[in-house]
Amino acid sequence: MASLQQRLERLLYSPGPIADLLAKLEARTGVQRLYLASGSVAFLGLYLMFGYGASLLCNIIGFLYPAYASIKAIESNSKDDDTMWLTYWVVYGVFSVAEFFSDLFLHWFPFYYAGKCVFLVWCMSPVPWNGSQVIYHSVVRPFFLKHHKAVDNMMGDIGAKALDAASTVTREGLKPSLNLADLVQKAK
């Protein structure tokens, strides 16, 4: 347990925006950073369990930092961070679609949003057992490899049908304007 506390204190004192904010609060209040951070996490957890707007707060947590980190990954020269955040967004998308269909039932479960927030933080955490990597390699990738040819064929068919429909609409839409132009020419 002591190593966990040491790692947490190392994180709280490492340079960055959170450590800077905690340093300012520590200087103003005289309360140690560890207690400030622990109290903030406890408050956030309680708010996610009992607070109004827990869904919005949970979605903000699952979106803001990953969006920021994704932009940084796009701007960096490394491919590894791009892959990490693309994997997160694929898992986030799959989770969001699944949640859409099950939300009617799930939001009635006590502490659902706290659990969802823990899940999203696990999916974005920079650890070897990162949630998005685990879910991608155990669920999404095998499903994709099994079904991608059928989906590619279906998407090709949909694309061809969309092009046909667009050309038909364009042709049929031009006919009245051509007829109108003929009428104008005849009237002259």
Give the whole-number percent of the chain exceeding pLDDT 90: 19
* 120 phi, psi to nearest 5 deg: -65, -40
pLDDT digits (tens, 9 = 90+) for 25-84: 888 888 887 888 888 778 777 777 777 777 788 888 889 889 998 999 999 888 888 889
pLDDT, greater one: 15 or 68: 68
Whether the predicted pLDDT of 135 surpasses 90: yes
**Range 156-165 average pLDDT:** 76
- Read off the pTM: 0.66
Query: Where does the chain have alpha helices with state H?
Result: 2-13, 17-29, 33-50, 54-75, 80-106, 112-124, 131-135, 141-187
pLDDT, greater one: 91 or 26: 91
Which pLDDT belongs to residue 176? 59
Average pLDDT, the chain: 80
Angle at 95 (CA atoms; ends 89, 97), nearest 5 degrees: 105
Q: What is the 3-state secondary structure (H, E, C) of 92-119?
A: HHHHHHHHHHHHHHHCCCCCHHHHHHHH
Residue 151 neighbours by CB distance under 10 Å: 10
Instruction: Mean pLDDT check: name the lowest of 29-33, 85-89, 178-182.
Output: 178-182
Which pLDDT belongs to residue 25? 81
Which pLDDT belongs to residue 90? 94
Which pLDDT belongs to residue 7? 75
Is 131 exposed, middle or buried (CB count within 10 Å of its CB: 0-12, 13-18, 19+)?
buried
Task: List the structure tokens of 10.
Answer: 């190392």
pLDDT, greater one: 186 or 61: 61
First-to-last C-alpha distance (Å) of the chain: 93
Q: Which residues have CB under 8 Å from 88's CB, separation 6+?
A: 66, 70, 123, 124, 132
